Amino acid sequence: MVFFGANDACLPGSDSGQHVPLDIYRQNLIDTCQHPTVAAQKPRLILVTPPPVDEYLLEISDAAKGVVGTRRTAEHTKLYADACRQVGKDLGLAVLDLWSIFMEAAGYVPGEPLPGSKKAAPNTVLDGLLSD
């Protein structure tokens, strides 16, 4: 399994230092999957999308850690999930689409604000899926 993106999808300039620009994230997925030492093993690779984020939960968690400002957003994380799915399609690899599984369970309707976004009301289903 190749599971990149949950940390990479931090916002540019956030104090986490974990942000990876989307184009580099995408290329890192490709490079990892096509690396000669990986290919030599002939593995059955499965890409795993980053899960969605809940901005309401993150605000509480970050505040408890003394973090000021927004590190992640639902919309920004969706871009990384979309990129992961596209890399899987381009390379003919299986994709475990955590983002879509969680969002479907949370009742996401395309065209409406993303569950977990501050543009939508808090979503208790998503909260339950994401809480430790």
Write out the two tokens for 82. 């979309």
**Local confidence band at 132 (pLDDT 50, 70, 90 cut-offs):** low
The pLDDT mean for the chain works out to: 92
The 3-state DSSP class for residue 22 equals: helix
**Local confidence band at 17 (pLDDT 50, 70, 90 cut-offs):** confident
The 3-state DSSP class for residue 37 equals: helix
The pLDDT tens digits for 32-91 are: 999 999 989 999 999 999 999 999 998 888 888 888 778 899 999 999 999 999 999 999
Residue 120 has pLDDT above 90, yes or no: yes
Q: pTM for the whole thing? A: 0.92
